[in-house]
Amino acid sequence: MLELKEVQAFYGTIQALKGVTLEVNAGEIVCLIGANGAGKSTTLMAISSVVPVGGGTIAYDGRDITRLATDRVVALGITQVPEGRMIFPDLTVLENLRMGAYLRRDRAALKADEAHALDLFPILKERRKQLGGTLSGGEQQMLAIARALMARPRLLLLDEPSLGLAPIVVEHIFEVITRINTEGTTLLLVEQNAQMALQVAHRGYVLETGRVVISGTAADLLADPRVQEAYLGMDMA
């Protein structure tokens, strides 16, 4: 479904991606793990065309989308929940949700999706008239996911959805992730919480300073001593 080949990206003269190759198949949850600064967020931003691709190609359903504008990428069904949530602070919760559906014209189905999104996160229903900026961090994360779902994505890119959340909320978020996937959405998941991520994912990639260094099924990665030591916090001594 999605195929990155030797993708490079630069911030000025700093090369953040040095050739990332990975693929995501329809129906999968693929997770991307790696240390801080490894280039995980940059990879997602390159897919969404927010960060320009400086080399290599990105294909979606066999079509080259490397140089497509961000809004066109979204129109193809690739939606992102960015790192740091990026909620619109001065729009209400409901308005934020509706921004997620910006490109959709099927008004009738929107209402149902709105209800569905609010059912996934009941707390948002209580807060729907509140400004986005007044929500707590966890609530903002839920809103960011709900907002992205409003686009009815075929491929959802999630950047650290569990960051800074209480364990019970993290669990809920991962439940939702699994649920979205069984409902038919493909997911590319960036996570610091490698343990959790590898439990829900089918496959995974490990990124190190702008390159993929390990890849395999989730079970393989969980069993890989390099992964255990560096990302699962296990002491191998």
Considering the complex, state which of residue 86 and residue 232 has its C-beta at the smaller distance from another protein: 86
34 binds ligand ATP (CB under 6 A): yes
CA angle, residues 194, 122, 130, in degrees to nearest 5: 105
Report the alpha-carbon distance of residue 100 to residue 98 in Å, rounded.
5
Q: Quote the tokens at residue 237.
A: 């001594």
Shortest CB 10 distance to ligand ATP, Å? 9
What is the per-residue DSSP string for 191-207? -S-HHHHHHH-SEEEEE
141 binds ligand ATP (CB under 6 A): no
Report the alpha-carbon distance of residue 203 to residue 130 in Å, rounded.
38
Count residues binding ligand ATP (CB under 6 A): 12
Q: Which of residues 36-65 bind ligand ATP (CB under 6 A)?
A: 36-42
Report the alpha-carbon distance of residue 206 to residue 43 in Å, rounded.
12
Q: Which of residues 83-112 bind ligand ATP (CB under 6 A)?
A: 83
- Whether 53 and 8 have beta carbons less than 8 Å apart is answered as yes
Residue 113: CB partners within 8 Å, gap ≥ 6? 101, 149, 150, 152
Shortest CB 16 distance to ligand ATP, Å? 3
Shortest CB 224 distance to ligand ATP, Å? 19
Shortest CB 98 distance to another protein, Å? 7
Give the interface with another protein as residue ranges (CB under 8 A): 48, 50, 69-71, 74-75, 79-80, 82, 86-91, 95, 98-100, 102-103, 147, 151
- Which residues are at the interface with ligand ATP (CB under 6 A)? 11, 14, 16, 34, 36-42, 83
